[in-house]
Amino acid sequence: MSTRHLAGSGRAEILAAATREFADHGYSGATTAGIARLAGVTQPLVHHHFGSKQGLWEAVIEALFQELHEVVAQATREVEGKDRRKRLEHLLRAAVLFSGRRPELARLLRTESSAGGEAFEALFEKWRQGPMSFLQRELSAAVEDGTMRPIDPRFAYFAIIGAITQAFAEPKTARRTSGLDVTDERFIEQYADFVVDFVLRGLVASRSKRG
């Protein structure tokens, strides 16, 4: 693979390669040399754009969470004024679609959660302030207004996040055990429909209980 020698080129390729390498190997296992090879650039160009592996890690996290924020913001606008159940359906489906199209974030969280350390702390803080807080608020509001039956939000959080991310975080397992190609857009769409139905059937209160 040829390399690019002009400083100022290759930033997007480096960021994409770093996202893949961190997702595959974790922060400690990834190297700037490996990322440069995957991106098809020289290692000095990686440092030119990002300064260090730490700088590259922070850029990857920022980019992934920015994408997720935009997806959630768009989905939220689309359900403005809708009832709580419709809101939950739409937001949940948007989360599954994001997870299917950007599985690296879930894989990073799982890898770094096991490893711990500074890389995990930086990642977790972004997750805690963003998606985790958002989901917990949505669940609490749904319980309070009677849309969702009384649940322990701590349990519900992990059950829902697992449903959203599990298949995409383990693509080889999905293929070997079930013959599923979790990167296929048709699967992602169908799985999103399944998760919405599966989660809401289990958690939404019956109409009689909601009055």
Residue 3 pLDDT greater than 80, yes or no = no
pLDDT, position 210: 52
Interval 5-21: pLDDT, tens:
444 478 999 999 999 99
Domain extents for the chain? 1-51, 57-203
Cβ-based burial of 126 (10 A; exposed 0-12, middle 13-18, buried ≥19): buried
C-alpha 102/C-alpha 43 separation (Å) is 25
pLDDT, position 39: 95
| Residue 207 pLDDT grade (very low, low, confident, very high; cuts 50, 70, 90) | low
pLDDT, position 153: 78
Class of domain 1-51: mainly alpha
The sign of the CA dihedral 117, 125, 70, 102 is positive
Residue 183 pLDDT greater than 60, yes or no = yes
| CATH superfamily entry for domain 57-203 | Tetracycline Repressor, domain 2 (1.10.357.10)
* 57-203 matches 1-51 in CATH topology: no
Interval 107-154: pLDDT, tens:
998 889 888 888 888 888 888 888 888 888 888 888 888 988 888 878
pLDDT, position 117: 86
| Residue 155 pLDDT grade (very low, low, confident, very high; cuts 50, 70, 90) | confident
3-state secondary structure of 198: helix
